[in-house]
Structure 1
Amino acid sequence: MRKTILITGASSGLGAGMARVWAAKGHDLALTARRVDRLEALKAELEAAHPSIRVVVHALDVTDHEQVFAVVRRAAEDLGGLDRVVVNAGLGKGARIGTGGFAANLETAETNFVAALAQCEAAMEHFYARRSGHLVVVSSVSAMRGMPSSMTTYAATKAGVAQLAEGIRADLVNRKGHDIAVTTVFPGYIASEMNEKVEQKPRLMVGTETGSRALVAAIDSEKPERIVPPWPWRPLAFVLRHAPLGTVRRMV
């Protein structure tokens, strides 16, 4: 069992949801985010509900790349090593390309892709040194295709991190004598703080708790790629990959 797990973006939404599920399963956790007050509250909640586990928290702005490496090292020291790192922190900001929304698009690109690269680098350095570990990259079903309007940059970053994870996985194919796995999860519409202010809720959205449990089950399987929840998102992902762009636009 991957006993010790570090989760970025753990102060709310799916990060916090996955932390609750893994805590109930007896895992020790390193929780990171910018909002330390929320992390401390979550730590207190989890330790009260599950006294046998260890929970450590670290302030982390994932766009501070030096801090990413430092926090991964400190969390590993705190817990005696990390068995799994979940690259979860992300943004959903964006505007249609060419409409003056470059600042929001840039922030999303830097957070969702460049910062994810730093997290993967730091995690894999640790795993290579231990010859063991599980890297998890949270992508999105929107990565299956170029998306219109405000989703364009977000979807592109999620496609980018999926390819990043696949490249890391390719490096491990012929590498002998290790227990390192790489999993990419592609969530469908799951309720979270990122989308709670959207006036028109996307169709087929599931609740945070349901989505978090589905994500944990997918990650624990350690399969290379998993679409979550499988129904209806696995068939819908196929449609997104192959449908004409006009159809894709009507689907989102």
Structure 2
Amino acid sequence: MLAGRLALVTGGGSGIGRAVCQLLAKEGAGVAVVDLNKEAAQETLDRLPKGNHAFSADVSSSSSVKELLKQIKTSFHMVPSIAVNSAGITKDKMMLKMDEESFNKVINVNLKGTFLVNQAVSQAMLADKVPNGSIINISSIVGKVGNIGQVNYAASKAGVIGLTKTAAKELAGFGIRVNAVLPGFIQTPMTDVLPKNVMEIILQLIPAGKMGQPEDVAEACLFLASDRSRYITGTTIEVTGGLFA
């Protein structure tokens, strides 16, 4: 489905990002596995076919993102025609007790980082005249409905939705599509730290009655990356098991 395409995947060292890397590679894409943790990126790379590469980058730094695009072009001799922005962090605390540093850090990685990668990748696509660019931003259902104790995370993911819709309008004329995926509660290292009693409450709220798997989100990303979604841009796909539907 993706033969001859190159995908850049941030947050590729674990969870949703790792599942996306594996599925896109399975469908024939070359994959640039990107993570702040180079060892984690390498662990993902070890699960992929030969010919792919792992990179370490700080998505919240414009200089790091620009250098990343240079390294990818050197390694693959082409620029990405697919980008999946899965890098994200949480620093949860009730708003009344949240410190400014925790708010800024989450915004810098989740929202600013998504902006920087969208900007750098789309500039590279335009410079190389990529005919079928697809950018997929991982937001969250929390960005749509909010969540207690996650004012910073919810704000960052709501911002990703707005960024996605605006970028889609700006880039559509250049043949670049931009969409967002909103996962619900997916079984990843980010959710593994939740207390058991909290998880029991969450499961009661999910109509499907179970947590989602990273592969469920990866399948949505594959659809948006492929030509099967060639007339879809500026939209959001919720992968939530019916949560808040």
Q: Is the 8 A contact 2:8 2:80 kept in 1?
A: yes
- 2:81 is aligned with 1:75: no
Cα pair 1:5 1:85 within 8 Å, conserved: yes
CA distance in structure 2 between the aligned counterparts of 1:41 and 1:231, rounded to whole angstroms: 29
What do residues 88-108 of structure 1 show as CA deviations (whole Å, max 9, x unaligned)? 101122222221433222211
CA offsets 1:44-85 (integer angstroms, 9 cap, x no match): 2212xxx5xx21111112122201111022213322221111
Q: Partner of 1:187 in structure 2?
A: 183
Matched, 1:160 2:159: yes
- 2:238 is aligned to 228
Q: Which residue of 2 is the match for residue 11 of structure 1?
A: 13
Structure 1 residue 12 displacement after superposition: 0.3
CA gap 1:211/1:134 in 2 versus in 1, 3 angstroms: closer
Which structure 1 segments of 5+ residues have no match? 238-252
More displaced, 94-103 or 105-114? Answer: 94-103
Q: Which runs of 4+ in 1 moved over 3 A?
A: 217-220
Deviations 1:168-203 (A, max 9, x none): 111134x3xx42111111112211111111112232
Q: Are 2:144 and 1:144 aligned?
A: yes
Task: Provide closer, same or farther for how the CA distance between residues 231 and 44 of structure 1 changes in structure 2, counting only shifts above 3 A.
Answer: closer
Work out whether 1:169 is the aligned partner of 2:165: no
**RMSD between aligned alpha carbons?**
2.0
Show CA shifts across 1:132-165 (max 9, x none): 32111111111213x2431211111111111111
CA distance in 2, matches of 1:214, 1:82: 19
Counterpart selection for 1:38 from 13, 37, 40: 40
CA positional deviation for 1:216:
2.7
C-alpha displacement of 1:130 = 2.6
| Corresponding residue for residue 109 of structure 2 | 111
Is the contact between residue 106 and residue 153 of structure 2 (CA under 8 Å) also seen in structure 1? Answer: yes
Task: Indicate conservation of the 8 Å contact 2:14/2:44, yes or no.
Answer: no
Going from structure 1 to structure 2, the CA distance change for 1:148 and 1:11 (only over 3 Å counts) comes to closer
Q: What is the percentage of aligned positions where both structures have the same residue?
A: 20
SS in 2 for 1:45: coil
Letter in 1 for 2:63: E
Alignment: residue pair count: 226
Partners of 2:55 and 2:36 in 1: CA distance = 8
Q: Could you say what secondary structure the match of 1:92 adopts?
A: coil
Q: Does 1:206 align with 2:212?
A: yes
What residue ranges of structure 2 are gaps of 5+ in the alignment? Answer: none
2:223 aligned partner: 217
TM-score between both structures, scaled by the size of structure 2: 0.84
Structure 1 length normalisation: TM-score? 0.82
Q: Indicate if the aligned counterparts of 1:141 and 1:227 stay in contact, CA closer than 8 A.
A: no
Q: CA deviation at 1:17?
A: 0.7
One-letter amino acid of the counterpart of residue 140, structure 1: S
Q: Distance in 2 between matches of 1:41 and 1:172?
A: 34
Contact 2:33 2:55 in 1 (8 A): yes
> After the TM superposition, which residues 88-103 of structure 1 pair with which residues of structure 2 at under 5 Å, given as runs?
88-103=86-101
